[in-house]
Amino acid sequence: MSSTVSVFVSTKKTEQSAWKASTPAVMGEQGATIFIGDNEADNLRKIQKAGRQLDNLGINAVKLMGDDWDIERQWAFSNGFTDTLTKNQIEWASDAETLRQMRDTAAWVRKLINLPPNEIYPESLAQMVSEKLTAVAPDAITVRSIVGDELIQDGRMGIHTVGRASERPPLMLVVDYNPSKNKDAEVEAVLIGKGITFDSGGYSIKSSEGMLAMKCDMGGAATVAGALVHAIHQGLNKRVQLVLCCAENLIDGSAYKLGDIITYKDQQTVEIVNTDAEGRLVLADGLLYAGEVNAKLIIDAATLTGAAQVAVGTDYNALFSVDDKLAQETLTIAEQQRELLWRLPLNQWHKDNCPSAFADTANSRPQKGGGSGGASNAAGFLLRFAPNNGAGWLHFDIAGAYHGSANGLWPTGATALGFRTIAATLLK
């Protein structure tokens, strides 16, 4: 008896099956068959649901059979046929090496995000990312970490302020991928990731149920790191730097408080009105760094706001940019990569939507969720720190990065949604 279940895709509808027509995968003597139609977007969604169905049936190894499996259909199945710990095995129908690399990268991203907070903290996150990228491109990678009070000396006050209350020091990790090995090569792109490895909310403390999943608040860091890994595998030949802004947002006598004012390296001042709006505080340091190295393209990713999730749900990521041409190109790339991405509003005047009488700006509005338009206002805060008034800058609020419970498309935990789009944006 075979140790794997054969899975087929078919356009031939059957009228004699005992299975309901809405069932993603129909089981038979030869294995499982997924009956598809004319709309490919619907087909991919059904195929991913079929993967979840087979995982829920307790199947842990499959072989994709037949000629109707193109790379995107196989990838959709892969996303569904993935348990939380990525133990399931797939024999691919075609493009095996490409799909194996993609699945391994996605599994690595998910593993980072799913790790418990006693294992994932700023220094361990930095070490895991550094080791992974060094293994992928050992001759082209250099790594620098700015740790603890070194952040003050380097002017990275947002990261230090958010993370100083933890016994585990905050840090900024800079990974330089420079395939030319020319130290004077231009930095074509900087990827910036929010690396809050646990978020209690600080003195604006979260509820117990709201805090349970906050190991995932470093999902932005994992996603951009995975994007760089994938882009290198795909032949990236440009100099790209990865900047991870890492901290634990905890509480003790040294924790930052409501009413505190942070002065950033560019002398902008920020009043703290919500210590649970910490992600934007650390990303500001990363954006200032990107300006210092004159990056042509800047992409940040963060599990930044609940407001973005309210707006786009958990199947999409949200995109913000004031660079219309770049934003449209990115939406097209996301569609090509079969990753759901939706652009939300951002204008220059969003920079002033969190006013303060005591500083240049506040880090939010002093109301639940930052009030109406909270995701755009958070992006507007970041826009204050983006070089060139936001030209060449993309902000991903990755609402789809983590699911607290399994659904018809994804297992419990991280999804890695977004790493393909960001990698393809680097490669365009």
- Annotated catalytic residues are 206, 280
Residue that is written with structure tokens 């042509």 in the block: 296
Are 323 and 390 in contact, with CB atoms under 8 Å apart? yes
The C-alpha angle 171, 379, 225, rounded to 5 degrees, equals: 40
Q: Extract the tokens encoding 373.
A: 């338009």
- The Cα–Cα gap between 387 and 384 comes to 8
Amino acid at 230: H
- The Cα–Cα gap between 202 and 326 comes to 35
Structure-derived torsion over alpha carbons of residues 391, 353, 271, 172, reported in degrees to the nearest 10: -30
- The Cα–Cα gap between 245 and 192 comes to 7
The C-alpha angle 371, 373, 375, rounded to 5 degrees, equals: 100
Are 361 and 266 in contact, with CB atoms under 8 Å apart? no
